[in-house]
Amino acid sequence: MQPKIVVYKALPQDILEDLRRHAQVVVLAPDPGQDREALTEALGDALVDADGAIGASVKIAPATIARATRLKAISTISVGVDNFDLADLTRRGIVLAHTPDVLTESTADTVFALVLSTARRVVELAEWVKAGRWKGSIGPEHYGVDVHGKTLGIVGLGRIGGALARRAALGFDMRVLYTNRHANEPAERAYGARRVELGELLAQSDFVCLQVPLTPQTRHMIGAAQLAAMKRSAILINASRGAIVDEAALIAALADGTIAGAGLDVFEHEPLAPESKLLTMHNVVALPHIGSATHETRYAMARCAARNLLDALAGRLTHNVANPEVLTR
């Protein structure tokens, strides 16, 4: 008998058809305007007799899968796994697969785009031109700051952080500082990256880029004290998870000039509320969580996630597992 798979995010048609060749597939199609709570409830109902699930952008709490006694594997189309309770999944013997490699380069592109666009005020000045306000040569009030030759501080030098360090050091002759649980010796050799404590990184960096996963330990790791430790000319870049930054503290720091600006692809609550003060600030570039959002990368992520799920259900998945300890049970 073929396993039953619940698909809770739209997949490319060819990938969906490939899944259908190997499993009974149920596509959970949200109703227009359906809120997250209703979608989560519908997912819980669909998973009751499912063997596997594939999707993204939905929080799957223990209560969601409480009745899913057949569930063997979930494959998330993302690298981040903060939508899941890993300990609970492991206790239940459920494999959680993710896609950590295929989005590295496109996400690093997005991060560096935020560096450039905040430093050179690209979004702000593009809107200024579109508004018909360009009447002559620009003056110092519209100048940005250089990126080349500056110091880039990377909090979390993993795959994406390493790709960012390569762009910075080799492409823009930047000095790279980083904090990490462990030394990244390849990055130190190839890009001259230097491992320092967070305090030193904040004090010396012209651009501080956050590239850590969201965990209880990293939630609000950047708050008022950390922002105050940065240069007044510094720019904060966050394309990892919004809750790593205390958003209220960031708004205050941007408003009073504690730091010069911020480039943000993620927020504490998404989508960002239209009334957010961040949207009124000229020194903020705000993007709608587009880190990996290219046609090529999103397709590759979906393909990888589908393969992960089929391999997990067949008992042959040995990589891309967020809770590898479940494989040894």
Question: Catalytic site residues?
Answer: 241, 270, 289
DSSP 62-130: TTTTTT-TT--EEEESSS--TTB-HHHHHHHT-EEE---STTHHHHHHHHHHHHHHHHTTHHHHHHHHH
3-state secondary structure at position 209 = strand
Tokens encoding 195: 């491992």
Instruction: Give dist(CA 235, CA 117) in Å, integer.
Output: 11
Half-sphere exposure in the Cβ direction for 63 (13 Å, CA) = 5
Q: Which amino acid is at 319?
A: H
- How would you list the strands of the sheet with 4-7, edge to edge? 24-27, 4-7, 52-55, 73-76, 95-97
Instruction: Give dist(CA 167, CA 191) in Å, integer.
Output: 9
3-state secondary structure at position 47 = coil
